[in-house]
Structure 1
């Protein structure tokens, strides 16, 4: 790649070490596809996606259409009582697909509960995405088969896991990279800040990928961040990129830059993907209680799928036939997901909740297990 880190640093990539570059003065956001679908030029970022052909853009478009369809189907399944809960990603498709498709197979993902689009790019089985939300398993998949840990529900905890894994990669002498996904609200958690301190201190090959979807459940991002969230990372000595999170091409470029930096020994990078959560925080949330209706109109005009679709239509790459094929695939994936969900009808044995909690025997856990067994035995039929 001909573009160096020094070149891209002047295009919204700052590490706080250059006195001539104050990250607080960088108001521009990295954008390669405008909301109306026209292509924007960026000398610092264009070279990182120069190899992306129109056919590859169609594949990214297909990915986004498919995961939106997965999202709407899973939401419907929850409304119909087939799932206990679901965390929608509606509106954040470009942030997840653009970053997920930049990763290599030997990279490792640590996510929160909303990154089902990233899970799709890693090849996670559709049924496995639903096991936890169906209540039939404590984890959805084997992390080592797909290079992605099962979602962390404790806010921000995955950043610590990602940093530790990255240090392991560095110790082993491999150029694999770990990436941690989290929301804007998580940046106020101690875990995230501690992970950045550790990653910076030891130059861990990790990417901190913040999907700033404007809401920490019902609290607006402006309540906790009076400057760009990306401005925080340079204080830890970590370069940051602020990117249009609804622009799949810009996200792809930013993630490639961060990956290249990590693989070449440059340490961690923080990416703030500015996007919008168009749906509820989870299916138990009612965003109409706290979110202005006009926000949906404004952000609806920045939709990641229609934006890329307009660009491809102008280039003649998205024909009616292609669009129909993409929609057909999305519907087929949704049917497959629904079938996989209803097939998950075997409840686990209650005592298996204690399995694989600790690697070694633990007296406290054994005591709890004995007490729970006695509790179950107090009911007619006892423990199964």
Structure 2
């Protein structure tokens, strides 16, 4: 990790800036795939499955027998863990279901209200490459079910045998999501956006993915009447630490996010001395030796990560708010106090015993969060991500008469005379 001492805010820009760029090559490749799937449907999907996943797929939808078989290969401890995580996530999200607005009498004869309606058709993209993200099925499926979405489909890439990881199938079945399709990459996003002979189209697409998947989501949201959840990039973590923070825990948190992607964004902001920082570095080296399965990814990620030394926790908070990280750990003596000063972050974890891993799996909050600084304007996933809100108004004759003196001058000034006439014609009759 790169170590820096920053004395002035005008030195912060290189820290705030992400090095993750979706280049023109990604766009051109993805755009070609999307147009091909739109025109040729399943034929194009089979071609790209062969090209990118090295597998011939005859039937995309997972059969009943595959779901049954998946349950037989998994341990009871895994199944119990799924149940516990499910219960915690559901409990938290149930407490945050948006409520319909009561009817509001704006003035005499004018009544307005709103109503939340579930998005009818939603699609989940679940990566299955470097890691089968079974936890994301819970994070997407639970709020979708609570929102009462009618149609839910799931796409995930198969292995070279044309199979889906059994853990993904088990969690899908546990969530009563039975329409699972063996398709990955940008072609899966195109299929959900436009529909093919095998895969139905949806109205909103959710889920993380690599640069190609992310680019595909952005393209279809611009070209088609399908929306997407939130802009997504590589995983991010910022840790704010003082002398209260345990170096062993800090190192483990840095490593846990670095194993996601070689482009993960990782920064430690601290007011501590070089002795404490050296201890963190020793812990990183020690713990890294046990993480051989993700060695290359972790090395690449940590190479571009930074330890930033600032003169005060106030400056650490200020820099973090400008970064607007996906995950923020405040590992300080008065973590709750400092948390009140956070205005930009996806999800915040307080103290020595609140690792990001808890939120990733089972504490109850959602792990689908904005990256790349979008936490300045976007929220993480919740039940309302699967709802749309419709407003209603009921106006009496007397109510419209009271509005006419306001609507007339405003519509006239905008040059929209038919708007004025639609009110005047009623008021004159009255």
Mark yes or no: TM-score above 0.5. no
TM-score bin (small chain) = under 0.3
Structure of greater relative contact order (alpha carbons < 8 Å, 6+ residues apart):
1
- TM-score normalised by structure 1 residue count: 0.27
Greater gyration radius:
2
